Amino acid sequence: MAGPKGEKAPLPMRDGVTPSYLWLPEGDWPDLITFMVANYPAVTEAQWRDRMARGDVVDAKGTPLRPESPYKRNLRIFYYRELDHETPIPFEEEVLYQDEHIVVADKPHFLPTIPTGRFVKETLLVRLRRRLGIEDLVPIHRLDRETAGVVVFSCNAASRGAYQSLFQKRLVQKEYEALAGPLPGREFPFSYSSRMVEGDKFFTMKEEPGEPNSETMIDVIERRGEHVLYRLWPHTGRQHQLRVHLSALGIPIVNDAFYPVALPCKQDDVSQPLKLLARAIGFPDPLTGEWRYFESRRQL
């Protein structure tokens, strides 16, 4: 990734991975390696020393940093995130559209949008950077790892703000599909609203009494055996909104491991994908005014 305010990073993109950076905070440390080991316990001292020996830890000018380098407050350090082992995701993304401003991709289930936790190279962002050779590629919005479908990226820093503002101003229309149980006694389509807040468990959300801050329009596409295929239009963009709303209605999405009850982590099991698909996205192009519409080619 680039440095602050779009500055070019002193380390190049490598196999789709751009360098991360950090600012050294206020503190009194005898040398750089002591600080790194104490503050980044997921990386061993031997690993930091190996990275520094390879020249993969540098300052903003690209000068290699050594274990014995003095600790300097406000020094900016660049380095690559590395994982000893990363489980391959056996599903491929597809590029639906590309021009000088945006890239639109069709993400498979189980592939994270951006590097996080135990995934770096096996993420949509890094795969696309490696495939397209575009270092300055940034997602304008994100999908959960469990959700498949359309994701829009910016590939031009000059126009990035204009596209990002579409989401901030809620000018983007998102359409999802979900497979869940039947919901008798309802007339479709209907709108469901609730107040969503952070849940009691990590990475979950929950509803609570109070003024609604989330809204979803729900319609039926077709009956599929004991399940129903629903069309969903989120009018707001809360984390896990569609999953929480359908669960609250008593029809949790098929294979949802978080709602209504968070199940033990399935780790690398990819046999039961969440039946949720970001089917389409549409918006007025901020540069031309033309209506843009992109649709996933995947099926639930």
DSSP secondary structure of 81-95: ---S---------EE
Cβ contacts of 243-247, under 8 Å, gap ≥ 24: 243/274, 243/276, 244/194, 244/196, 244/205, 244/206, 244/207, 244/214, 245/192, 245/194, 245/214, 245/216, 245/218, 246/178, 246/180, 246/218
Taking phi first (over 0 means left), then psi (-120 to 50 degrees means alpha), and beta for anything else, what does residue 55 get? left
| Beta bridge mates, 295 | 280
5 pLDDT exceeds 70?
A: no
Which tens digits make up the pLDDT trace of 273-298?
999 999 999 999 999 999 999 999 99
The pTM (predicted TM-score) of the whole model is 0.90
Check residues 151 and 168 and name the one with the higher pLDDT: 151
Query: Which amino acid type is present at position 285?
Result: D
Q: How far apart are CA 200 and CA 261, in angstroms?
A: 11
In the block, residue with structure tokens 């098929």 = 254
Q: How far apart are CA 32 and CA 65, in angstroms?
A: 8
| SS3 of residue 217 by DSSP | strand
Catalytic-labelled residue, pool 15, 50, 59, 144: 144
Which whole number is the average pLDDT over 189-200?
96
Is 144 a known active-site residue? yes
Tokens for 268, please give them.
Answer: 């690398």
pLDDT of the residue at 201: 81
Which whole number is the average pLDDT over 99-115?
97
| Average pLDDT score, the chain | 94
Q: How many CB atoms lie within 10 A of CB 278?
A: 25
Of 48-62, 180-194, 263-277, 281-295, give the lowest mean pLDDT range.
263-277
CA nearest to 20, candidates 35, 34, 37, 40? 40
Which tens digits make up the pLDDT trace of 207-242?
999 999 999 999 999 999 999 999 999 999 999 999
Which whole number is the average pLDDT over 40-69?
96
Taking phi first (over 0 means left), then psi (-120 to 50 degrees means alpha), and beta for anything else, what does residue 225 get? left
Asked if residue 10 has a cis previous peptide bond (ω within 30° of 0), the answer is: no
pLDDT of the residue at 262: 83
CA distances (Å), 24 to each of 28, 71, 133, 193, 292, in order? Answer: 11, 8, 31, 44, 43
15 pLDDT exceeds 50?
A: yes
| Beta bridge mates, 148 | 277
110 pLDDT exceeds 70?
A: yes
Q: How far apart are CA 272 and CA 122, in angstroms?
A: 19
Which whole number is the average pLDDT over 22-40?
96
pLDDT of the residue at 283: 98
Q: Evaluate whether 280 touches 294 at the Cβ level (below 8 Å).
A: yes
